[in-house]
């Protein structure tokens, strides 16, 4: 009998993580019946569908259509819908990835229905419980039967929290599988021409974390930083719907738009975004995944957060934690522009074979 597996994706950063898993399971069609469940946490074309196109992910088999709500409502609605899915599908295993609300919601459903659960990107910790993602990580890890870790800090964190070592596997980073396997399409992307940019002649900004964009005070601090950086180099800012909403709500859109060397654009698809990043001088971001992608692309990354759950990007990669310190950001930018940049090395097992390692474990164990 074929084993049935449900793979869950809900929000933008999930799509590049499920793509290589789906591809790998496809090679084992005879042994596994794999279905993709999209919770619908993200639903805009630029936040979801374009990634399916870019990454050749098949259409979801099951779409829950949840959409945007408060944290509790979103999590609860996903749980109610996914409980029905699990009861109907009776999977042998559910695979969740990353740290978004969809991840934790589906993990809870599996635990209550005694369905085996695998978490890909387990063990990461920012030690900051004010981040919704940190809550999602802790909850998901402690409910999982298989914990696939992307960097060694994850193994240490899980051990400290008392998770049995029998359940943990150092598999590497599936998002980097996607980056490497898509490199041809990335190189082909015409985004630089479209935006009239020259290689290394601009920087990239991404911001969407509640801690940075939800309050007027912090948005104003960020505006001041962006203004100073924009005096030194062009900034391209693909703007997340959440940040756009907040900039508008706080009446700051005019001010942002008035900065001549800041170009605000709609969110980009995968290939265009990675190409934009790859050819940039540096990236200023509060994203999780971009800290990892810049490390592999050897592009300097200034992370506008107090901490990172991905310390290997700082220890080995190109990442520097700068929070909202204008002083730190400007001195880092000045150094980069003078050619003094962190070059870094690619972390262990970020080699394009992580999904294969994960599927091998599941094949052997299920």
The catalytic site residues sit at: 208
Applying CB under 6 A, does 11 fall inside the site for ligand UD1? yes
For residues 279 and 299, what is the distance between their CA atoms, to the nearest angstrom? 8
Applying CB under 6 A, does 208 fall inside the site for ligand UD1? yes
**Widest CA span in the chain:** 63
- Which two three-digit tokens encode residue 227? 């203004």
For residues 81 and 360, what is the distance between their CA atoms, to the nearest angstrom? 30
Site track for ligand UD1 across 20-59, x = CB under 6 A: ---------------------xxxx--x------------
Give the binding range for ligand UD1 (CB under 6 A) out of 96-104, 171-179, 198-206, 357-365.
96-104
Output the CA–CA distances (angstroms, integers) from residue 203 to 100, 198, 215, in the order listed.
27, 11, 25
For residues 36 and 118, what is the distance between their CA atoms, to the nearest angstrom? 14
Applying CB under 6 A, does 139 fall inside the site for ligand UD1? no
State in angstroms the smallest separation of the CB of 105 from ligand UD1.
9
Applying CB under 6 A, does 307 fall inside the site for ligand UD1? no
| CB nearer to ligand UD1: pick between 68 and 307 | 68
State in angstroms the smallest separation of the CB of 174 from ligand UD1.
16
| CB nearer to ligand UD1: pick between 75 and 157 | 75
Q: Using alpha carbons, select from 167, 121, 133, 125 the residue that is nearest to residue 350.
A: 121
Among 241, 252, 259, 366, binds ligand UD1 (CB under 6 A): 241
State in angstroms the smallest separation of the CB of 97 from ligand UD1.
12
Site track for ligand UD1 across 62-81, x = CB under 6 A: ------x-------------
Applying CB under 6 A, does 135 fall inside the site for ligand UD1? no
Among 6, 7, 8, 13, binds ligand UD1 (CB under 6 A): 13
| CB nearer to ligand UD1: pick between 73 and 187 | 73
Contact 358, 96 (CB under 8 A): no
Convert 89-128 to b/e letters by CB count within 10 Å (16 or more is b).
Answer: bebbbbbbbbbbbbbbbbbbbbbeeebbbbbbbbbbbbee
Q: Which helix (H) or strand (E) holds 67?
A: none
Contact 48, 25 (CB under 8 A): no
State in angstroms the smallest separation of the CB of 351 from ligand UD1.
24
What is the edge-to-edge ordering of all strands in the sheet holding 319-321? Answer: 262-265, 234-238, 202-206, 283-285, 301-303, 319-321
Q: Which residues bind ligand UD1 (CB under 6 A)?
A: 11-13, 41-44, 47, 68, 99-101, 132-133, 208, 240-242, 245
């Amino acid at each position: 009998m074929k084993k049935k597996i449900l793979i869950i994706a809900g929000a933008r950063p999930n799509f590049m993580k499920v793509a290589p898993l789906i591809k790998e399971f496809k090679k084992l069609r005879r042994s596994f019946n794999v279905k993709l469940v999209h919770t619908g946490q993200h639903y805009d074309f630029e936040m979801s569908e374009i990634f399916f196109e870019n990454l050749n992910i098949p259409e979801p088999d099951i779409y829950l259509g949840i959409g945007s709500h408060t944290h509790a409502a979103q999590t609860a609605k996903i749980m109610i819908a996914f409980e029905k899915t699990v009861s109907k599908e009776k999977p042998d295993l559910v695979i969740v990835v990353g740290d978004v609300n969809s991840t934790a919601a589906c993990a809870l459903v599996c635990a209550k229905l005694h369905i085996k659960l695998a978490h890909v990107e387990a063990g990461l910790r920012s030690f900051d419980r004010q981040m919704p993602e940190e809550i999602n990580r802790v909850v998901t890890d402690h409910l999982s039967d298989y914990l696939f870790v992307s960097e060694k800090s994850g193994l240490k964190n899980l051990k400290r929290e008392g998770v049995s070592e029998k359940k943990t596997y150092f598999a590497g980073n599936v998002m980097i599988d996607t980056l490497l396997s898509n490199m041809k399409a990335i190189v082909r992307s015409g985004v630089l021409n479209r935006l009239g940019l020259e290689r290394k002649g601009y920087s990239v900004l991404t911001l969407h974390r509640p801690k940075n964009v939800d309050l007027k005070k912090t948005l104003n601090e960020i505006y001041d930083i962006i203004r100073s950086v924009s005096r030194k180099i062009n900034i391209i800012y693909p703007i997340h719907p959440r940040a756009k909403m907040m900039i508008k709500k706080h009446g700051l859109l005019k001010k942002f738009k008035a900065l001549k060397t800041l170009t605000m654009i709609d969110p980009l698809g995968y290939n265009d975004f990675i190409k934009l990043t790859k050819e940039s001088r540096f990236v200023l971001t509060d994203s999780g995944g971009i800290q990892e992608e810049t490390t592999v692309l050897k592009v300097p990354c200034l992370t506008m957060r107090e901490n990172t759950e991905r310390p290997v990007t700082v220890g080995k990669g190109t990442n520097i934690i700068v929070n909202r310190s204008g002083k730190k950001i400007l001195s880092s930018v000045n150094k980069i522009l003078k050619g003094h940049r962190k070059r870094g090395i690619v972390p262990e097992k970020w080699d394009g074979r992580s999904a294969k390692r994960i599927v091998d474990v599941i094949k052997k164990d299920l």
